[in-house]
Amino acid sequence: MSENSTIWQSEKDSLLASDKIPVHSSLLSVATQRLARVLKSQISTLLSDNGKLGLVEWRICLCISQSENPTQKDLVDFAGMEQGQISRAMRKLESRGLITSHQAPFDRRARIFALSETGKEYFDRVQPMVANYHASIDAALSPQEREQFLDMAERIAKASLLANQELPQKAG
């Protein structure tokens, strides 16, 4: 078997296992997916260890804490997740007594959500830990490096959109 026909391409050892990138895969795509998985796993662990909430539930609490009279649509937009995920998470939060809801005065079909007293206590206790976690991630790069990273991430996102537009829509 030739060196080029191996399953993995070798780059270098790293936390993101960049030494194990499948042949014909994008190094940048695989690395960013792995980075996202590490970041999501770590914040999920922090949240689970401090109140048994998941990331979706946390995002809902965060949105409610930063919004005035948010509706479910506002929560979906803020979290950037599917309606079904948000609905399930909201039922969980309501059943645990962390959020409350009432009918919106401007639309009888809409509901307005708020943190309950228990929810406010939870949020006020956990939010500083989450903020410290995020600050420690951001501190890994200098301000100039963060700007460069964001610029590069934006270029990768645009390249992904452009590449997808240029490819045939169906194989074969």
pLDDT value of position 11: 43
Which percentage of the chain shows pLDDT scores above 90?
55
Q: What is the 3-state secondary structure (H, E, C) of 78-114?
A: HHCCCHHHHHHHHHHHHHCCCEEEEEECCEEEEEEEE
The pTM assigned to this predicted structure is 0.76
pLDDT in tens, 100-148: 998 888 888 888 999 999 999 999 999 999 999 999 999 999 999 999 9
Say what the pLDDT of residue 1 is: 36
- For Cα atoms 120, 133, 129, give the angle at the middle one, nearest 5 degrees: 30
CATH 1.10.10.10 fits 53-126, yes or no: yes
**pLDDT value of residue 17:** 66
Residue 164 — left, alpha, or beta (φ > 0 → left; ψ -120 to 50 → alpha)? Answer: alpha
> What span, in angstroms and rounded, lies between the C-alpha atoms of 130 and 138?
12
How far from chain centre, in Å, is Cα 92?
A: 19
Task: List the single range of 24-33, 41-50, 118-127, 131-140 with lowest mean pLDDT.
Answer: 24-33
pLDDT at 166 over 80: no
Task: Give, as one character, the DSSP assignment of residue 4.
Answer: G
Query: What does the domain layout of the chain look like in residue ranges?
Result: 15-49, 53-126
* Residue that the structure tokens 């964001």 belong to: 150
